[in-house]
Amino acid sequence: MGCSSSRPTEAATPARRVNISGPVDPPGMVPRRQRDAQGVPIAPTEHELNRHNITQALGYVAHYLHSRGKSLILIAVGGAVNTVLLRTRDSTHDVDVFNPAFSASELSMLRSAVEYAEQQSPTPLGNRWLNNETGTIGGTTQNIPQLIEMARQQNDVVFRAQGLTVLAAPWHYAFVSKIGRITYGTGRPYDAADAAAYLHEHIRRHEGRPVRASEIRKWGQRFRRVTPNEVLEQVDAVYSRTYGQHGIVID
């Protein structure tokens, strides 16, 4: 006799197809992240760029933008500022920038302009010669609108032509960013000298007075950079040797 209590067999639920997307880069990145056929990022190529190389390349970017009716502003940090504006370094390997929230068309045009400059330049630039990766760093990202406004008010011009203006980042921001790199051990041998140069530019614009460590700590808190006294003393020693006076008062 069959078992009348047996449950009817349930139809198997068809398995869902799961679509796995490829790697996704943060929106708004310049240049486009290059990947191989397997989706693995291609390592950046770098070349040492002097003042002439950088200004010539930025000129190509400006020409491309202006010829298409665009005019954009970028804020530069790091070696390009030292090489082009301050002339405290002979060369750097890239132009680090952050930028306002561009529209999709502006972003696409800037990417194309950067690629155009790489193609036109008689000097090899590298495939990330101008990039805005610095704008993704914590402490920078959330402060970009304020940093851009401060850079406008400061008005230290790294490059300007029809189609493109590049301004130096606020000096106190550039300074604490270098202090953070030194502290975390991710810096380069020239970082202490760079930090001293940025601090000097800030001091020149503030009646020539040295800055208290307590004030620097406030900068660090705002931009999420650590500013230990030991590193400040190290940079102040470089400042004293370079400019003949102390730039930092440890309090």
Cα three-residue angle 232-237-238, rounded to 5 degrees: 100
Half-sphere exposure of 241 (CA within 13 A, CB side): 8
Tokens of 97: 């920038």
Burial class (CB in 10 A: 0-12, 13-18, 19+), 40: exposed
Tokens of 8: 């009817």
Where does the pLDDT of residue 123 fall: very low under 50, low under 70, confident under 90, or very high at 90 and above?
Answer: very high
Where does the pLDDT of residue 20 fall: very low under 50, low under 70, confident under 90, or very high at 90 and above?
Answer: very low
Output 213 or 185, whichever has higher pLDDT: 213
Domain boundaries, the chain: 46-169, 171-251
Give the predicted TM-score (pTM) of the model.
0.85
- % of the chain residues with pLDDT over 70: 87
